[in-house]
Amino acid sequence: MKNAKWISLFLVLISMPGLAAQQQTSSYSERLATRKNPLKGLSLVVPSFVIHGVRPSQTASTYMPRKMDGGGSTVITPGFGLEYVSPDGLLLLGAVVKDCYDNLAGTFQVGEMFQVSDRTSWGLTFGVYSRQTPQSCSTSSDGRGGATTECYDLDGYRLKFKSAVNGYAIDIIPMPFLHFSTALYKSRDFRVDFKLMSNFVLNEFGFAVPF
């Protein structure tokens, strides 16, 4: 009986290093999985350019100083945004850009992000896109020594609410977006993602840098 107790104690002692190593390996694996998981945390979003799903009219394209082609199908849209993804995949995104007409515009989106791999994810959001209404204005004489100014919208987008801020017409447009993100560069401590936000009408290409 006494020998059995010593044997049991000996077996416990020789198994302790293995248990410790297993626990350490498990802990390291969990930390590594957390580090690799692209769905958690805050990212700086850098919009780059937009490709329009519907070709702008020739009149509208003449008012696009940032266009990259003669028809205004591709336009540079500099700006910045912040994207947050919770551990459960909740996606919150807000961004401000200079739009196709060189006016200030912004969006706020809420949705869900889904992980494909440690480098790639996709998601769906819904929110609002707000911009200064793109207009063309002309001034003409009223025949009585005065002048009148007439303005008309440069696009025919109808699914929007119109408002005014400081005398400027503002469009508030409900919009969904499909999101796609994949790592262009990924190391232990730094990552740069290619990011696409698309709903066919607006297809925004850019980059995201997780904090």
Tens-place pLDDT, residues 110-119: 999 999 998 9
Neighbours of 2 (CB within 10 A): 6
Give residues with Cβ within 8 angstroms of 153, minimum separation 6.
133, 134, 135
Q: How far is CA 201 from the centre of its chain?
A: 16
In a domain, 155, yes or no: yes
Which domain CATH number covers 52? 2.40.160
How far is residue 135 from each of residues 10, 65, 116, 132, 161, measured CA to CA in Å? Answer: 86, 14, 42, 9, 15
* Cβ density class 27-56: b for 16+ within 10 Å, e for less: eeeeeeeeeeebbbeebebbbeebebeeeb
In a domain, 32, yes or no: no
Domains of the chain: total: 1
Task: Please give the residue range of the domain that contains residue 50.
Answer: 38-210
pLDDT beyond 80 at 53? yes
In a domain, 98, yes or no: yes
Q: 144 or 154, which is more confident?
A: 154
In a domain, 96, yes or no: yes
3-state secondary structure the chain: CHHHHHHHHHHHHHHHHHHHHHHHHHHHHHHHHHHHCCCCEEEEEEEEEEEECCCCCHHHHCCCCCECCCCCCEEECCEEEEEEECCCCEEEEEEEEECCCCCEEEEEEEEEEEECCCCEEEEEEEEEEEEECCEEEEEEECCCCCEEEEEEECCCCCCCEEEEECCEEEEEEEEEEEEEEEEEEECCCCEEEEEEEECCCEEEEEEEEEC
- The overall average pLDDT reported for the chain is 83
Q: Give residue 10's identity as a one-letter amino acid code.
A: F
What pLDDT sits at residue 35? 41
In a domain, 28, yes or no: no
Over residues 170-190, the pLDDT tens digits come to: 999 999 999 999 999 999 889
Give residues with Cβ within 8 angstroms of 102, minimum separation 6.
64, 65, 66
In a domain, 4, yes or no: no
In a domain, 101, yes or no: yes
pTM of the model: 0.75
In a domain, 168, yes or no: yes
Q: How far is CA 62 from the centre of its chain?
A: 28
pLDDT beyond 50 at 109? yes
pLDDT beyond 50 at 19? no
